[in-house]
Amino acid sequence: MQEIFFFSYGTTIAAGVTLWIVEGLHPYFSRQKRRALHAKLNLSMAGLNLLILLPSGILMAFMLEWSRNGWPGIGMLALPPVAEAITIVLLIDLWMYLWHRLNHETAFLWRFHSVHHSDETLDVTTSWRFHFLEILFSELLRLPLFMLMGARIEHLLLYSLLMTPVIEFHHSNISIPPALERLARLIIPSPMMHRLHHSRLRSEHDTNYGSMLSLWDRLFGSFLIKDNLDDLRLGLDHESDSDKQQLFALLQKPFRP
């Protein structure tokens, strides 16, 4: 398990650094400036979130091991280990889709999730930019769900290993060939899909909720794609101004009228 843990976090960092370098060389939105300051803000928020994620991960590992002894969940089906892992990874990704959609459709949750959407400079560092209370709510809700599934901590680490580079990729500002873009979105949420998700237009940002797989958006009618995003405006009206894009302002944002 320790090997998966370190490999997962190592992959997250390596993929993030690589994408940040590549998007500087081949950006989709060429107008983006002050990349270092933008990254500093988003990484500061990510650092705060680690204060929740690290102890939460330790607690989750203990609770999942404890609950599995009394409630096997998916384990009662006696699936081969590979089939069990695939089933649980798919269920986790389905939950991520539903949770993301809830964050858009529930006014209370949107107050926190909108911190993520207020970023008008979309790049790989945006994938780590979340209000710490959104992270806390997510951790509190998913623990009992994962216990009910009968997931093991190894399954969560495997999902993180697969999902995190995908999230980093579809947030990135990389310009990729249209043919590769079309191929990618058959399986995963592609960068063009997710750029629409960060549009200022609600009809566009209430779409493309998938984390690792684009399957759920297609199944539940939230898939949207445009091949030309020349008129796309990122961020949120009245919330993406420079004075509101400071660390303390973003932390206070959910509590403003």
Predicted local confidence at residue 150, as pLDDT: 92
> How far is Cα 220 from Cα 205, in angstroms, rounded to an integer?
15
Token pair 């990618």 in the structure block, residue: 184
Q: Percentage of residues in the chain with pLDDT exceeding 70?
A: 96
Quickly count: other Cβ atoms within 10 Å of residue 87's Cβ: 17
Per DSSP, what are the bridge partners of residue 174? 27
Confidence of residue 1 (pLDDT cuts 50, 70, 90): low
Predicted local confidence at residue 156, as pLDDT: 92
Predicted local confidence at residue 112, as pLDDT: 97
Confidence of residue 230 (pLDDT cuts 50, 70, 90): confident
> How far is Cα 61 from Cα 68, in angstroms, rounded to an integer?
11
Summary mean pLDDT of the chain: 92
At 26, which helix (H) or strand (E)?
none
Q: What is the pLDDT of residues 31-46, one digit of tens each?
A: 767 889 999 999 999 9
Whether the per-residue pLDDT at 169 is higher than 60: the answer is yes
C-alpha dihedral (46, 51, 55, 56), degrees to nearest 10? -50
Confidence of residue 7 (pLDDT cuts 50, 70, 90): low
Tell me the residue type at 147. Answer: M
Whether the per-residue pLDDT at 3 is higher than 70: the answer is no
58-72: average pLDDT: 87
* 117 SS3 class: helix
Least confident of 54-63, 163-172, 217-226: 54-63
Q: What is the pLDDT of residues 77-111, one digit of tens each?
A: 889 999 999 999 999 999 999 999 999 999 999 99
Confidence of residue 5 (pLDDT cuts 50, 70, 90): low
At 134, which helix (H) or strand (E)?
helix 132-149
User: What's the pTM?
Assistant: 0.93
220-244: average pLDDT: 91
Beta-carbon contacts of 210 under 8 Å, excluding residues fewer than 6 positions away, are 93, 96, 97, 100, 188, 189, 193, 216, 217
> How far is Cα 211 from Cα 69, in angstroms, rounded to an integer?
30
The number of angstroms, rounded, from the C-alpha of 65 to the middle of its chain's C-alpha atoms is 26
Q: Using an 8 Å Cβ cutoff, are 95 and 220 in contact?
A: no
Predicted local confidence at residue 8, as pLDDT: 64
Nearest CA-CA partner of 130 in 203, 32, 35, 52: 52
Predicted local confidence at residue 67, as pLDDT: 86
> How far is Cα 113 from Cα 135, in angstroms, rounded to an integer?
10
Q: Using an 8 Å Cβ cutoff, are 173 and 124 in contact?
A: yes
22-27: average pLDDT: 92
